[in-house]
Amino acid sequence: MRIKIYQINQNRDQDRVKFCGLEETEQHQRFFRIDPGLYDEVFDGEVNCVTLEDVYTVFNTAHPSTHRGHSLSVSDIVEITESSQNHLRGCFFCDKIGFESIDFDASKTVKPDNLLRVVMLESGKPAYAAEIADELRAMQHAVNGYIEVAYPFQDNAVLIANEEGLIRDMEINRVINGQLYVGPLVVIGDNCDGSFCSLTDEQTEKYLSAFQSPGLSDQNEDTGMNMV
């Protein structure tokens, strides 16, 4: 399931409807419609979920590494863009009890302008495209700790890993060009001046293809094939 999550930005919440139920929120809104301008996009990615209840559990017990918001709560909105269940598409308001389908123009929500496009590598999962904020704290959150940068590739892409991954006995992730990596990994662009940048469209496709296999055979980025 691929989803987006939107949460009210308290700085724009003049009516103080954050954490209010659907009925109460609509009473404060013009024409009884939820104002998308109140909301920030805080997540865009794939989750191993089948139902909205699964989404609620994941975002309250084990936040995905690229989630930029708080635990899923009342007044938040989940947009399902891809699902194995055809009827489960669209936008859903997290109410006091369960979820309610709503008419919501997600194009009018606010998205941070400092996001970088990356490819995430997690243990036992195929690679997936994601966005993380161009901030040290966000990168530390993505790898669950202090970061270190590795250079296993031949273009300007680099790998962000957990500096203490081996010491903390984090789960084995990938073998890339002969090197074993543990814990969550981020493939990201390097400006060669100490700063990071987004992967290009071509790089994104390249690394998604190269790391679709979650296995432990040596994965060589030049060919995009598993080198057994």
Q: Which two tokens stand for residue 203?
A: 């790089």
pLDDT of residue 216: 63
pTM, whole model, 2 decimals?
Answer: 0.82
* Tens of pLDDT, residues 71-90: 999 999 999 998 877 778 99
* Tens of pLDDT, residues 209-224: 999 987 666 666 554 4
Which pLDDT band holds residue 194 (cuts at 50, 70, 90)? confident
* Tens of pLDDT, residues 115-149: 999 999 999 889 999 999 999 999 999 999 999 99
Which pLDDT band holds residue 225 (cuts at 50, 70, 90)? very low
Beta-strand runs (E) in 115-194: 115-121, 128-133, 147-150, 157-162, 172-176, 179-182, 185-190
Indicate the range of 26-40, 80-94, 98-112, 143-157 predicted with least confidence: 26-40
Give residue limits of the domains in the chain.
Answer: 2-108, 115-227
194-202, Cβ contacts within 8 angstroms, sequence gap of 24 or more? 195/134, 196/116, 196/134, 196/139, 196/158, 197/116, 197/156, 198/116, 198/117, 198/118, 199/117, 199/118, 199/119, 199/157
Of 187, 62, 183, 72, which Cα lies nearest the Cα of 130? 187
* Tens of pLDDT, residues 40-63: 999 998 898 999 999 999 999 988
